[in-house]
Amino acid sequence: MELTKALLPTSVTLLAALLLSQTSFFTHRIPSLFKPSNPLHDAAVISYAELTENAPATQQRLLSSMSEYGLFFINQVPSYNASQELATLRSFFALPLDTKMELAVRKYRPGQRNVYRGYGPLVSATATQYKEMFNIGPHETDYKPSSVDSDGSLEQFRAIGRERNVWPGSGDDAFDRHFRDVFSRGFATRRMLAQAVVRCIGEGLGHPELEERFTEHEFSTLGLRRYPARGGAAGRLTELEHEDSTVTILSTFQNPGLEALYGADYWDVPPSGEGFVVNIGTLIADITDGRVKAVRHRVRQIEKERFSIPFFFNPSFDADIGTSLTGRRTRAGERHRIFGEWMREYLPGVEPGLLGKTP
């Protein structure tokens, strides 16, 4: 007892001294104690069964989460195995660079047939977009541009949207088959989820015809992404602040790093785990007359290697993007009539040099 009494004042003094010496503790840690807890934990979590059942109550839950936070979560997707995808993704990126470069898009390997679907190596010169990627689309056969189209360059761009996938030839047939099988199914799963999301939004807004704008979704892409660890890069971003354009079904596995703007602050988006994070972009927000919100987000550099898989579900090439669900002229509609025209202008901005023009 005596001893405790004697020690107590000393420990209090020591603690106070410690706290005072740790200014960063005060400036960064203490204030966060007074912040409300992460609001994104209140975004809706909708099961696969609820999403596909598409009851009015689910539509309203989805819409209110999308208008408040700009995102929601999907879980309990039958026969989806995130760990299997992650393991397969790791094995792919661990292949020798030569093997991966066989699949490179034309931008990185002149003479390649594929422009949009395929491999993109790490480019160390780009300060922010430090990632390795592999894009998979919906097509397994090439499209022959029609010669009767009045706008030849638009037809060529349509052909890029419809170009067929490339798949690894690693010399290990079992791996190659497994990879193709896992990600063909991964693509189909997300397409089905994205169609269900669009249906749910459309019906919830009283405009079930929304899904008709996505019937072909030629430009949809499943993007395998690897962001390597970078020493001394703490606090840097691997994806700058941006909003998406269409419908995004994202897997972040167990990885932190994704942050979304809510109110005046960026908040950590809870990792997708065995499910998915869903958000929509500015084009769809506009088409829905702002009833769903395009959330601003970014990706922080984390200390270890980070993997993610975004799936971009895009309207059909010929879909009207110029009029909203209520018949209002959209912002995109001031310059473009159909999604293909819009995408032709948008793509070079996010993927400089992809279409062959120097940025």
At its nearest, how many Å lie between ligand NAG and the CB of residue 25? 41
- Rounded Cα–Cα distance for residues 323 and 231 (Å): 47
User: Do the beta carbons of residue 258 and residue 299 sit within 8 Å?
Assistant: yes
Selected binder of ligand NAG within 7, 87, 188, 229 (CB under 6 A)? 87
Q: What angle in degrees, to the nearest 10, is found between the helix axes of 56-68 and 173-204?
A: 100
- Rounded Cα–Cα distance for residues 70 and 248 (Å): 11
Measured from the CB atom, is 89 or 160 closer to ligand NAG?
89
The answer to whether 67 contacts ligand NAG (rule: CB under 6 A) is no
Mapped onto helix, strand or coil, the DSSP state of residue 297 is strand
Measured from the CB atom, is 15 or 49 closer to ligand NAG?
49
The answer to whether 91 contacts ligand NAG (rule: CB under 6 A) is no
Selected binder of ligand NAG within 81, 112, 129, 170 (CB under 6 A)? 81
Report the C-alpha dihedral over residues 314, 210, 239, 157, rounded to 10 degrees: 30
Measured from the CB atom, is 55 or 87 closer to ligand NAG?
87
> What beta strand segments (E) does the chain contain?
45-47, 71-75, 118-120, 132-136, 221-227, 237-242, 247-251, 258-262, 265-268, 276-280, 297-300, 306-313
Measured from the CB atom, is 81 or 156 closer to ligand NAG?
81
The answer to whether 83 contacts ligand NAG (rule: CB under 6 A) is yes
Name the segment binding ligand NAG (CB under 6 A); options: 79-87, 209-217, 297-305, 310-318: 79-87
At its nearest, how many Å lie between ligand NAG and the CB of residue 88? 8
At its nearest, how many Å lie between ligand NAG and the CB of residue 100? 21
At its nearest, how many Å lie between ligand NAG and the CB of residue 171? 21
Name the segment binding ligand NAG (CB under 6 A); options: 5-13, 81-89, 203-211, 289-297: 81-89
Give the nearest residue (CB) to ligand NAG.
84
Strands 297-300 and 258-262: antiparallel
Q: What are phi and psi of 56, to 5 degrees?
A: -55, -35
Calculate the CA 46 to chain-centre distance: 18
Residue 118's beta-bridge partner residues?
A: 135
At its nearest, how many Å lie between ligand NAG and the CB of residue 186? 12
Selected binder of ligand NAG within 11, 84, 128, 153 (CB under 6 A)? 84
DSSP state of 40: G
At its nearest, how many Å lie between ligand NAG and the CB of residue 178? 10
Measured from the CB atom, is 13 or 84 closer to ligand NAG?
84
Name the segment binding ligand NAG (CB under 6 A); options: 31-39, 80-88, 170-178, 262-270: 80-88
- Rounded Cα–Cα distance for residues 258 and 264 (Å): 16
At its nearest, how many Å lie between ligand NAG and the CB of residue 84? 3
Residue 297's beta-bridge partner residues?
A: 242, 260
- Rounded Cα–Cα distance for residues 183 and 88 (Å): 9
Residue 180: exposed, middle, or buried by beta-carbon count in 10 A (0-12, 13-18, 19+)?
middle
Q: How many CA atoms lie within 13 A of 69 on its CB side?
A: 24
Task: Residue count of the chain, please give it.
Answer: 359
Name the segment binding ligand NAG (CB under 6 A); options: 83-91, 220-228, 304-312, 339-347: 83-91
At its nearest, how many Å lie between ligand NAG and the CB of residue 83? 4
At its nearest, how many Å lie between ligand NAG and the CB of residue 81? 4
Measured from the CB atom, is 81 or 323 closer to ligand NAG?
81
- Rounded Cα–Cα distance for residues 314 and 220 (Å): 5
Size of site (CB under 6 A) for ligand NAG: 4
At its nearest, how many Å lie between ligand NAG and the CB of residue 12? 51
- Tokens representing 213 are 């704008």
Site for ligand NAG in 267-326 (CB under 6 A): none
Which positions lie near ligand NAG, rule CB under 6 A?
81, 83-84, 87
